[in-house]
Structure 1
Amino acid sequence: MELSAVSETALWTLYQRSVEARRPDPLLEDPKAVELVERIDYPFAERFGTSDFQAQLQALRVACFDREVAGFLAREPRGTVVCLGEGLETQFWRVDNGRAQWLTVDLPESVSLREKLLPPGPRQRYLAADATDLAWADEVDRDRGVLVTAQGLCMYLRPPQVRALISGCADRFPGGSLVLDAVPRWFGRLTLRGSLRTHGYQAPPMPWAMDADEQAKLRTASPAVSAVRDVRPTGGRGLVGALLPLALVLPPLATRRPSVTVLEFAERPDRS
């Protein structure tokens, strides 16, 4: 299939997870990613290069999302996980509890590719739609808890779209939460200048970026955002493992790092 630049990032992240998962000491167990890379006829290494550093960083970021989803499923075993812009993410096979409902919302070309490579099971639904059009919210079962993830999505949106997405989720899922990630501003500027290229791969422009010390500002997107929480990576190997604790607390790295954020939504007041 011919993929757009943003949709091709699904192959990049898939490959990074598989590189990490193939190690004897992986930070992320992801046999489904390894299986997919072996099945897909695509020049992954030639296109993206192979970097232990990149694979580690990707695994650490993904593990932040996994922890949040696993925690949600522990509290709401039959809850609904909505994955926006999921691409070829294999989180379902890493953290599913056997009872939750999963809804993937992604662009038609991405859903078509996902359906071919990762056919949905009985508790999975794939919806071809624009994640920024909140019409997909009508497809969500809200009888139990709802967790929305936007992993590797928001940086490709415009700032007003990000605020509208947060506001829309806060309004439609009272008592729920949204987990999203952001690249720091310096990184976003590099992508806008077309300065991030490895081997044959050019990183797409990322119009929305946020430094880690700006997370609290996300609360201004809606009065229904009741709390904002930073999800910090843990672990790492070698130099990454040694420097990560320092990078999380020492300026300027602590404020100019990628971030994963949880937005919690207030319950709707009982008007009875």
Structure 2
Amino acid sequence: MLSGVPETALWTLYHRAIAARNGVLDDPKAIELVERIDHPFQERFGDGELAAWQGLRVRAFDNEIRRFITAHPDATVIALGEGLETQFWRVDNGRVRWVTVDLPESVALRRQLLPQTERQRLIAASALDTAAWIDTEPGLITAQGLLMYLDRDAVHGLLKGLPPAALLFDLVSKRLAAHSARPRKSGYQAPAWTFGADQRELDALPVEGLRRVPIPHGRGAVAGVLVPLLNRVLNPIGVYSARTIAASSSSTATPATTSTVASSANAARAVRDATRATRRDA
């Protein structure tokens, strides 16, 4: 039985595994982990009613990452707050370098459960502590399931302090964030989301070139029609690509190979000092 591990990481792992078993997502490592970990997954999380949605959202991330590393095969990807995500093995091209930034207990768990290659690096730090990983000079920074657990000041501070890179992240709607705070009558009570975004908030984000990433279609009525339709109409959780402000102001052609690390590090330290008390569940 795992202890000291945020159940949000186990919830997402469990639903990815169900999505993989149902053919929505190609993620054999998620299935393997669920089978290995001593945790009452079904008892705690139910039968996986949201697995199709989770699998398609993850596939949206995968598709964008594959597109990026096709254009930049030797790039470094920084995955913020990765938890037990197994994305590296789904998108690996044999050349990409992958850096996981997460809290110490989550990094320790990844070391215990997941194999590491010479192209992978683990950094035990808060995602907000950009000074801890800025020296990696990322080409792409991902924040999957992260920003909605921060407050608005922390989100804006983090985005402003990022080094030159492409961005890929998700956000929940304001309505869904407010709904998440309501107690459930039974079953798993996930931590409430503290940051949601409507169009005005999206327009205010300190990034450049913001673009909504389409949710792919799966097979069958639920994954093939219902989930993509509801996400397009209601947009409860959107996946977005963008560029950091530092990347957009850079004179270089690609977003990850500038020499502005020193100035970005200064910005990162300011973010870290301003948000040191803010931490999230991985």
> Which TM class, normalised by the smaller chain length?
0.7 to 0.9
CA contact (8 A) 2:123 2:133 kept: no
CA contact (8 A) 2:24 2:223 kept: no
Distance 1:95 1:3, change over 3 A: same
Q: Which range moved further: 236-245 or 64-73?
A: 236-245
Q: Give the deviation of 1:234 after TM superposition.
A: 1.7
Report the counterpart of residue 11 of structure 2 in structure 1. 12
Report the counterpart of residue 188 of structure 1 in structure 2. 177
Q: Give the deviation of 1:50 after TM superposition.
A: 1.0
1-structure distance, mates of 2:52, 2:120: 28
The sequence identity of aligned pairs, in percent, is 45
Report the counterpart of residue 259 of structure 1 in structure 2. 238
1:41 pairs with one of 33, 38, 42: 38
Q: Deviations over 1:145-203 (max 9, x none)?
A: x100000111111111111111111xx21xx21111111112211222334x662x111
Verify: 1:3 aligned to 2:4, yes or no: yes
Verify: 1:99 aligned to 2:95, yes or no: yes
Q: Give the deviation of 1:243 after TM superposition.
A: 3.2
2:57 pairs with one of 36, 46, 61: 61
Q: Deviations over 1:245-264 (max 9, x none)?
A: 543554xx2xx421001112
Where structure 1 has 5 or more consecutive residues not aligned to the other structure, the ranges are none
Distance 1:96 1:249, change over 3 A: closer
More relative contact order, 1 or 2 (CA 8 Å, 6+ apart): 2
Q: Number of aligned pairs? A: 247
**Pairs within 5 Å for 1:73-222:** 73-141=69-137, 146-169=139-162, 172-173=163-164, 176-195=165-184, 199=187, 201-211=188-198, 213-214=199-200, 216-217=202-203, 220-222=204-206
1-structure distance, mates of 2:148, 2:221: 29
TM norm structure 1: 0.84
Alpha-carbon RMSD: 1.9
Q: Which range moved further: 184-193 or 91-100?
A: 184-193
2-structure distance, mates of 1:41, 1:210: 36
2-structure distance, mates of 1:137, 1:106: 11
Distance 1:22 1:228, change over 3 A: same
Amino acid at match of 1:101: R
CA contact (8 A) 2:60 2:215 kept: yes
Verify: 1:238 aligned to 2:221, yes or no: yes
CA contact (8 A) 1:178 1:262 kept: yes
CA contact (8 A) 2:52 2:227 kept: no
